[in-house]
Amino acid sequence: MNVTFIGIGAIGLPMALQIKRAGHSVTGVDLSSRARELAQESGLAALDSFAAAPAADVVVAMVATPQQLASLVESVGTKLEGQTWIVMSTVGPDAVREQGRRLAAAGARVVDAPVTGGTARAKTGQLVIFASGEQADIDAVRPVLDAMGSVRITGPRLGDGQAIKVVNQHLCSVHIVAAAEALSLARSLGLDPAAVLELVQNGAAGSWMLSDRGPRMLQDTDVTVTSSINIFVKDSDLVAAAAKSCDAEVPLLAIANARYRKAADDGLGLRDDSRVIETWR
């Protein structure tokens, strides 16, 4: 298939490269000159606009925010017949439904398919993909989706994939902050946090986030960024908004959200999300 991949940042680039490795023709699109440079160094053609890209069978949208998705859809025009758009960003149910209607009005088919697994799993093609939309539309783009990871069909209603990702990000947000608080507690108790992490991570108190983020929490501010504080400000805000829309109580999410916001206010927004531990210092 001819694929245009919009948003070739830290997670988007390895996703696009997995699609290319599966034999598809892929063109990356990103406004960032640095992102385009890294893509080209990796052997992926990269341009600065959708209009400049070759005609596509499949368009993957991996932009960062609901506002960026809205701007993208506004910019692509009204002649999208023959294209299937896969929205893989975490933008929330309302955003994907609204922009899905606009894309459909322009002639495109739309699949909602947010991902979880981070850059590590993106690089190995082992993301988990929550796909919703018409089954025929999902089937049509399965060769592209399968190149990136394991597809979980969530139903025909566009936006249900995003809703499941909201639940996923609720847990991720809380688990990261819980891990940081626990390791900070270990330090306050006069224990070696690294030794405590080794002892507890494989027991009943363990979690994937503790094992993944915990070692980076024990490093310094300059640890390699795999997912930034700002991403979790955005994602926990999305969770809060979704919860408010259905009158769900999420007090633990509110605590986690406050920690990410404090970290961002402290100048850590572009740092790895593990640096939320610095809000306890």
User: Do residues 80 and 106 lie in contact, with contact meaning Cβ atoms separated by under 8 Å?
Assistant: yes
Residue located via tokens 């494989």: 202
Q: How far apart are CA 238 and CA 252, in angstroms?
A: 14
Instruction: Outline where DSSP puts E strands in the chain.
Output: 2-6, 25-29, 45-47, 58-61, 84-87, 109-112, 115-116, 127-132, 149-155
H/E element, 215: helix 208-217
Other beta carbons within 10 Å of 241:
15
Residue located via tokens 């139903």: 155
Q: What amino acid positions are annotated as catalytic residues? A: 165
Query: Burial letters for 189-226: b for 16+ Cβ neighbours within 10 Å, e otherwise?
Result: eeeebeebbeebbeeeeebebbebbbebbbeeeebebb
